Amino acid sequence: MKYVVVSGGVISGIGKGVLASSTGMLLKTFGLKVTSIKIDPYMNIDAGTMSPLEHGECFVLDDGGETDLDLGNYERYLNVTLTKDHNITTGKIYSHVIARERKGDYLGKTVQIVPHLTNAIQDWIERVSRIPVDDTGLEPDVCIIELGGTVGDIESAPFVEALRQFQFRVGKENFALIHVSLVPVIHGEQKTKPTQAAIKDLRQLGLTPDMIACRCSEELEDPTISKIAMFCHVGPEQVVNVYDVKSTYHIPLLLLEQKMMNYLLKRLQLDNITLTAEDKQRGEELLEKWKSMTVNIEQSDKIVKIALVGKYTNLKDSYLSVIKALEHSSMKCRTQLEILWVEASDLEPDSQETDKTKFHDAWNKVSTADGILVPGGFGIRGTEGMVLAAKWARESNVPYLGICLGLQIATIEFSRNVLGIKNGNSSEFLPDLPESDQVVVYMPEIDKDKMGGTMRLGLRPTYFQDDCDWSQIKKLYGNRSSVEERHRHRYEINPELVPQLEKEGLIFVGKDESGERCEILELKNHSYFVATQYHPEYTSKVLDPSSPFVGLVAASAGVLDRLYNGEFEFHGKADF
């Protein structure tokens, strides 16, 4: 097993995750099997309880693990399926060591950060890196380890020490370190001092950079590269120039251009890993497909406008996977994407009195959008605005995709305005709603009193029902009889209402294994009106976008027919 550690210096938030996943993706293009581990030096054990306002979205894995959004990045770039063990947090590793201490595993010895905690970290990395993550079911060849935060923080100290020891445990030829640093441009001059200081910190802690990835707003000049090489005691070929590009999907190509892989291949002796001709060919195809997907889109001058009617629209990170899924889909449909951010509560009539401009602005966006998306979310605020947006989409024949709450919203709207259940609502918003008005109900098997960890979580199957050959969503999923997607919810559509809804044309085309719980709804006789109880965005991949999203983007761009004709399929080689 080869390990590539990606750490960061100077400041955080300069794209360590993108660099790490791009490196992994490039290793895959050589035919290697790549996995990844994210180390988060914070005390939380469970990301499910962290506020999306503070921390961005909560990402859900196949196994129901709730992590922060970085694991999503790896899944999307590397086309792999990770588990909850692929994230290591300080809290997790401490509780692991403390549990062993309680069991008496340390035989009465004094339990210390070094060696007990640092050993536990290394054992964890070795164990988890071997978990198969793709459909080959084989052990991966390379593991990318992203160390969160910046080296030198108090928080990351035990992990840095563990990695220092780890390079000796696994051997020099199996361990490479990429340090991501920042080169600010001040008065037109590229400053190397912060990078020099960051590398000094790193060396002091016993780690040697094999590559220094310099983030900069512009291309590094040759003298800058020489200077960094000289003062940081590396060769110029070890300094990688990662300047700002139009889209993060271009970063792998940028790294490739700079021959970063040549160095890594040599350094890790990757040639010694035996690969079959088939593996190699798969790798080459992957690169062609990546180029074709990410570069073609620039040549398109078509723009599709999707209104995202949500709640935390001023914190866009809380919808990160949704945005990524839209980006992947628009690349597939060869159209540029423009997201219109709509704060749902601004659509409500009340807001007309408080802020007229916002009200008109919001409606202007909704009514000019090519498609409307209502994503998942919690809480009451803004839900009446979402109901109005769903009504607009239904009545104006504008493509609509609802996710989780978005499915419940679409059903509430339909119950009120088509079935005539005037006060139809969700018992999530109104706990003592009369039974006749309950459109959305609490799932019976879930314990109402416990908040954390009581959701329907992770990968579950959805079965397409009989008589839905007309369904667009079924066709988009390739006419499969069932699909597996990731869930995260506590409430569901009231099953007793389903016959009435279906009679009026709102059809539940997908249900769970019991045949009772509604998973996918679709409106008959509409350009595209689909909603899912699950979160398809979590499994969207750069090269394999999620079907419900592809459907929304294609319908909004008016190219559904071309999509069904297979015009957007990849045929072997990038056409440039």
Ligand X SMILES: *[C@@H]1O[C@H](CO)[C@@H](O)[C@H](O)[C@H]1NC(C)=O
Residues catalogued as catalytic: 404, 535, 537
> Considering only residues 65, 382, 385, 458, which one is a binding residue for ligand X as defined by CB under 6 A?
65
The Cβ of residue 325 has, within 10 Å, a number of other Cβ atoms equal to 30
Task: Give dist(CA 362, CA 522) in Å, integer.
Answer: 26
Residue of 37, 41, 52, 68 that binds ligand X (CB under 6 A) = 68
Compute the least distance from the CB of residue 79 to ligand X, in Å: 4
Specify the residue, 92 or 511, whose C-beta has the smaller distance to ligand X: 92
Nearest distance in Å: CB 564, ligand X: 7
Residues 6+ apart with CB under 8 A from 226: 236
Shorter beta-carbon distance to ligand X: residue 209 or 510: 510
**CB contact at 8 A, 213 and 263:** no
Backbone angles phi, psi at 306, to 5 degrees: -115, 125
Are 470 and 439 a contacting pair, CB within 8 Å? Answer: no
Nearest distance, CB of residue 82 and ligand X, angstroms? 10
Give 526's contacts (C-beta < 8 A, 6+ positions apart): 394, 397, 400
Residue pair 3/175 in contact (Cβ under 8 Å)? The answer is yes
Window 258-317: residues binding ligand X (CB under 6 A): 286, 289
Is the CB of residue 372 less than 8 Å from the CB of residue 309? yes
451's tokens: 């908040």
Secondary structure element (H or E) that encloses residue 336, with its range: strand 336-343
From the list 3-11, 142-150, 335-343, 473-481, the region that binds ligand X by CB under 6 A is 473-481
Residue 153 burial (CB count, 10 A): 13
Distance in Å, CB of 478 to ligand X, minimum:
5
> Residue 479, interface with ligand X (CB under 6 A)?
yes
Quick check: helix, strand or coil at residue 432?
coil
Query: Would you count residue 543 as binding ligand X (CB under 6 A)?
Result: yes
Output the six-digit token pair for 332: 């597939």
Would you count residue 533 as binding ligand X (CB under 6 A)?
no
Angle between helix 320-332 and helix 277-296 axes, rounded to 10 deg: 90
Q: Which pair of structure tokens corresponds to residue 243?
A: 């300047």
Q: Quick one: 112 or 482, whose CB is closer to ligand X?
A: 482
| 66 lines the binding site for ligand X (CB under 6 A) | yes
**475 touches ligand X by CB under 6 A:** yes
Instruction: Pick the piece of the chain touching ligand X (CB under 6 A) from 42-50, 147-155, 165-173, 182-190.
Output: 42-50
Residue 36 is a binding residue for ligand X (CB under 6 A): no
User: Per rule CB under 6 A, is residue 469 in the interface with ligand X?
Assistant: yes
| Dihedral angle computed from the Cα positions of residues 346, 348, 350 and 351, in that order, rounded to the nearest 10 degrees | 10
Q: What are phi and psi of 158, to 5 degrees?
A: -60, -35
**By the rule CB under 6 A, 75 interacts with ligand X:** no
Residue 76 touching ligand X (CB under 6 A): no
Count of residues of this chain found to bind ligand X when the rule CB under 6 A is applied: 32
The C-alpha torsion from 30 through 33 and 39 to 45, rounded to 10°, is 150
How far are the Cα atoms of 37, 38, 126, 162, 506 from residue 169, in angstroms, in the given order?
18, 20, 10, 10, 60
Contact 536, 58 (CB under 8 A): no
Q: In this chain, which of 1, 46, 296, 334 binds ligand X, going by CB under 6 A? A: 46
Rounded to a whole number of angstroms, the minimum distance from the CB of residue 65 to ligand X is 5
d(CA 61, CA 77): 15
Q: Is 192 in the site for ligand X (CB under 6 A)?
A: no
Binder among 104, 235, 444, 478 for ligand X (CB under 6 A) = 478
Q: CB-wise, 31 or 376, nearer to ligand X?
A: 31
Stretch that binds ligand X, among 60-68, 162-170, 257-265, 452-460 (CB under 6 A): 60-68
- Among positions 83-142, residues that touch ligand X (CB under 6 A) are 84-85, 87, 89, 92, 134-135
What residues between 425 and 454 interact with ligand X by CB under 6 A?
425, 429-430
Tokens 């990844």 map to which residue? 36
CB of 211 to ligand X, least distance (A): 26
* Residue nearer to ligand X on the CB measure, 396 or 423: 423
Single out the residue of 36, 79, 241, 539 in contact with ligand X (rule: CB under 6 A): 79
* Interacting residues toward ligand X by CB under 6 A: 40, 44-47, 65-68, 79, 84-85, 87, 89, 92, 134-135, 286, 289, 380, 384, 423, 425, 429-430, 469, 475, 478-479, 525, 543-544
